[in-house]
Amino acid sequence: MELKEIKCESCGHVNPPGTQLCQSCGKMINSDYDKNKIKDLMRYDGSAVRSKTKSKSIFDKIWIFFTSIKVGVSIILAIAIAASIGTIFPQEYFIPLGVDPAEYYQENYGTLGYLYYSLGFHNLYSSWWFLILNGMLALSIIAASIDRGVPLFKSLSKQRVKKHDSFFRRQRLFLNTDRPDDTGRLIDAFSKKRYKVRQEGDNYLLEKGRLSRYGPYINHTGLIILLFGSMLRFFPGMYVDEIVHIPEGETEELPTTEGQYYVKNEAFSLDTYDEDAGEVFNEALSSNTMLISNYQTDITFYENNSADIVGSSPDLEAVDEYSIRVNHPYRFGNYELYQSSYDNSQLKSMTFRLEDADGNTVGDNFTVNLGDPESSYDIAEGVSVNMRAYSPDFLEIDDNGTLVSATPVPRNPAFVFEVDDGEESELSLLQIMNSTDITEDNDYSIRFVEAEEHIATVLTLKKDLTIPFIATGFIIFLIGLFTGSYINHRRIWIKADDNLTLAAHTNKNYFGMKREINEILESNGLGAVNDKLDDADKDKNKE
C-alpha cells in the first residue's frame, strides 16, 4: 500500500508520508507509527525515516535490513570474531618461504590447520568472504547514514520558528508564566550564551550546537573512508608487501615494478655486540648466543631503460648506491625497500680432497662451485675426479638411481663422484657428513674439507598508497567522535503573546541545559522550567 502525503490541519503544510510532527508547526499529525521503533519523536524532529515507515516492497525490505542497527552490530561482531580466529595460527605471510601452504597447515596443526586453510583464514584479509563482510558493513553504514541523516538535515535546515501549542507541551522542559515587561532582555541573555536567535513576530527560536547532531554521520563518513582505504589494498598497484631474496653479488628484478627496477646485492654484513657493549647485554653475551647489532645490505639500484620494449634484454643503468639497514629503508618513487632478514642456508662452494687407501692426500684439493659445477677436476698427474651426478638439495634416490632434489637451492648437496686414475674408475656417493662407496673395494676416498656459505639478504619491498585514505578516515572519525560526545545541541522555543511560553530540547545533558535556562530565568525574575522527568519521579514516589 502506497503511503500518502499528510496535510497539517493546523497550518496547512503538506508533509511527506510517514511524518509524525508537522515540519512547519510541530503539531502531531500522524499517531499511526511503530512506537516500538520510534521511542523519541524529537530524535529526527518527527521527520519521515524510510526504514521506520510501513512499506512492503522488496526494495524497502532490503533497505530496512541494511539500515538496522542490529544488523550493523552483527556484521561488526562477525568481522571481529573472524579477525580473532585469524590470529590462532600464523597467516601465510609468516610461514616459511617456498612451502605449500595446504601441507604446512595440515602437517603442523592437524585437522584444525586443514580447516583453517580451507576456510581461507590463512589469508584472512584478502579472502572473498571477509571482503564481502567489509562490503556489507560499508553498505550498512552508508544506508543507515542516508536513512537517518538526510531527513534530520532537511528538518534542521528548514525548521520553522513558530510552533503549535501542543509542540510546547510535548517537550521535556516546559514553562508557562506571565510575560515579562522586557522580552528583549531575556532574549539578549540567551544570546550571550552563544545561542543563535531567529524571530517571527512574538515567536523565537534559540539554537546552538547543531553540529552535535551530525557527529554520528561524521563518524560514519570516517569509517566509510577507512573501509574504502582498507579495501583499496586489494587493487593492483595500491599496496605491495613482497619479499625480495638476493644472494650476495647477484642482481634481482624487484617484483610488481614490471621490470623497471633492479637491485644488486653488493655485500651483506652482519655486526654483533662484543664484550664491551655494556652491562645491558652482559646476560645475553654470557649465554654464548650471537647478539646481532646491525644487518646491512650494500646495494646498487638500477633502472631498466628497455622496460617498455617487450621481449628485450634488460638495459640496466646504475642510478644510486645505498646501504640498507634495519629501520633505514631505501626509498624510490612510492616504494620502500626494508632490511628484513638474511639467509645463510645456501652453500656457495665445497672443497674436497682425495685420499688413498692409507689415508694419504693425493694431489691438490678441488673446489666445486655449487651454482655452476664443472664436470671434471684434475687432481694429480693421471688422476681426475669426474662428477657423474649432482643434487643441490638432496631428497632421495629414485628407483632409477637418479638423485632427486627437493629444490634448486644448494642447501643439502649430494654428489656422485667418479675417481679415474687411468687404470680403473671408482664411484662414490658423497653427502654432507656422509660418504658411501658405490663400487666395491674402492682404493680412493673423497673427504670434505670446507664449505663457503652463499649469504643472501632478505629485503621487504613495500608500497602503500592507501595510507592517505586511512589517515583521513581516522581523523574524520575522531572529529565526529569529539563532535558527538562533547557538543550538545540545544534549542529553546519561546512564544511571547499574552503569556510567556517556553519549551526546550537537547540531544543530551538535560541537567546542564535546565541549569543554564534557570539561571537566565531567575536573573530576569521568572520561575524555573518544569522537568517532566522530575515530575514523573515525584508521582512515582507519592504512589
Domain boundaries, the chain: 1-50, 56-158, 161-209+488-542, 239-344+458-464, 347-454
CB atoms within 10 A of CB 47: 22
Position 280 pLDDT exceeds 70: no
- Cell triple for 364: 691438490
- The confidence score (pLDDT) of residue 1 equals 47
Q: Looking up cell 553504514, which residue turns up?
A: 141
Structure confidence at residue 443 (pLDDT): 86
> Is pLDDT at 260 greater than 60 in this prediction?
yes
Backbone CA torsion sign across 111, 115, 117, 123: negative
Mean pLDDT, the chain, whole residue set: 87
Look at residue 151 in the predicted model and tell me its pLDDT: 86
Q: What does the alpha-carbon distance between residue 320 and residue 334 come to, in Å, rounded to a whole number?
A: 16
pTM of the model: 0.72
Q: Out of 41-50, 84-93, 397-406, which region has the weakest mean confidence (pLDDT)?
A: 41-50
Strands (E), 414-511: 414-420, 425-431, 434-437, 445-453, 456-464, 490-496, 499-506
Q: What single letter denotes the amino acid at residue 477?
A: F
Tens-digit pLDDT profile for residues 491-537: 999 999 888 999 999 999 999 999 999 999 999 888 899 998 876 65
* 43-47, 219-223, 408-412, 534-538: range with highest mean pLDDT: 219-223
What pLDDT does 110 receive? 92
54-113 pLDDT, tens digit per residue, is 566 788 888 889 989 899 999 999 999 999 999 999 998 788 766 888 989 999 999 999
CA distance 464 to 462: 7
Q: Which residues, including other chains, have CB under 8 Å from residue 325's CB and lie 6 or more apart?
A: 294, 295, 296, 339
CB 147 within 8 A of CB 63: yes
Please name the helix (run of DSSP H) or strand (run of DSSP E) that holds residue 246, with its range, or none: strand 239-247
Tell me the mean pLDDT in the region 331-347.
Answer: 90
pLDDT digits (tens, 9 = 90+) for 460-479: 999 999 999 999 999 999 99
Confidence class for position 48, pLDDT limits 50, 70, 90? low
- Check residues 433 and 347 and name the one with the higher pLDDT: 347
Beta partners for residue 428, in sequence order: 417, 437
Identify which of 155-164, 329-338, 427-436 has the greatest average pLDDT. Answer: 329-338
pLDDT, position 509: 92
Q: How many CB atoms lie within 10 A of CB 359?
A: 8
The mean pLDDT value for 366-389 works out to: 92
Architecture of domain 161-209+488-542: 2-Layer Sandwich (3.30)
- Cell numbers of 155, please? 528538518
